[in-house]
Structure 1
Amino acid sequence: MTLFVNLHVKDLPASLRFFENLGLAIDRELTGDEAGCVTLAEGASLLLVTEPFFKSVTGKDIPDTTAGNEVALALQVDARAKVDDIVSAALANGGTKAGEVQDDAVMYSRSFRDLDGHLWSVLHMG
């Protein structure tokens, strides 16, 4: 089974570059003019979909990510330093900081918003 998380984006090429600059792989076979596929992990991919195509598929208006969140996404990584690397790359490539660092005995996490305002947390457990 494979999970595809679909997110609407304003500028598909810019969004693909953003996620590629975070160290994620673009699946060129599943990328076209209206959607691009980013591999998150085995069996899980992010499908970046242009806003007009997203609207045609959902039949709904595009959520305003400046006013609220339609989803909150989290990536668990295997090292604390990877959290910092990914979030630093996100901020260096146009993402914005979201929330405060969580650092306790259970979890280390940091959050950012991508180019379209979608909320992401990157965390390391332990």
Structure 2
Amino acid sequence: MPKMCFINLPVADLPRAMAFYSALGFVNEPRFTDETAAAMQWSDTIVVMLLTHEKWRGFTTRPIPDTGSSEVMLCINFDSREEVDALAATAAANGGTVDVNPPQDYGFMMSRSFADPDGHVWEPMWMDPVVASGQQEVPHVSS
């Protein structure tokens, strides 16, 4: 079995969260979905588990961050700059907040960010395949 990544996210409104992630291209896996949780598949190895607050509290006693805080930023790659921009636009059109962090563009790599309706921050990004594969050195980026 390949290594997989399951990202668990607490959500205030499960149907709203499912609709948001479906609009972004995540596919619901009904075998692992009920009224308290939904498995939203991004790829063969990446699944986002949307958990109601009650279900989340069954896993941890740590507090659920409010929508204005940052616990993590989840970065996902795309094949083109246009796909990154399209996902950001789709997030905005479906209840997300776009560019919660300033867009980044280093020429060989670029990213945008958005928060889902529950405040979870995602960073879609593109990197030049020649740089990503190691065929070309990473250009120097001044900060």
TM-score by length of structure 2 reads: 0.83
Give distance in 2, aligned partners of 1:113 and 1:92.
12
- Give the alignment of 1:1-126 within 5 angstroms: 1-66=3-68, 68-97=69-98, 98-126=100-128
Instruction: State the AA in 1 paired with 2:46.
Output: A
> Which structure has the larger Rg?
2
Q: Which runs of 5+ in 2 are unaligned?
A: 129-143
Q: Give runs of ≥4 in structure 1 deviating > 6 Å.
A: none
Matched length? 125
Aligned residues with identical type, % of pairs:
36
Instruction: State the AA in 2 paired with 1:80.
Output: R
Give distance in 2, aligned partners of 1:61 and 1:105.
39
More strand by percentage: 1
Give distance in 2, aligned partners of 1:79 and 1:105.
12
TM-score by length of structure 1 reads: 0.93
Partner of 2:139: none
Give distance in 1, aligned partners of 2:66 and 2:103.
25
**Residue deviations 1:9-58 (CA, integer Å, cap 9, x gap):** 00001000001011221111111111101111221100000011101211
Instruction: State the AA in 1 paired with 2:78.
Output: V
| Deviation of the 1:103 alpha carbon | 1.5
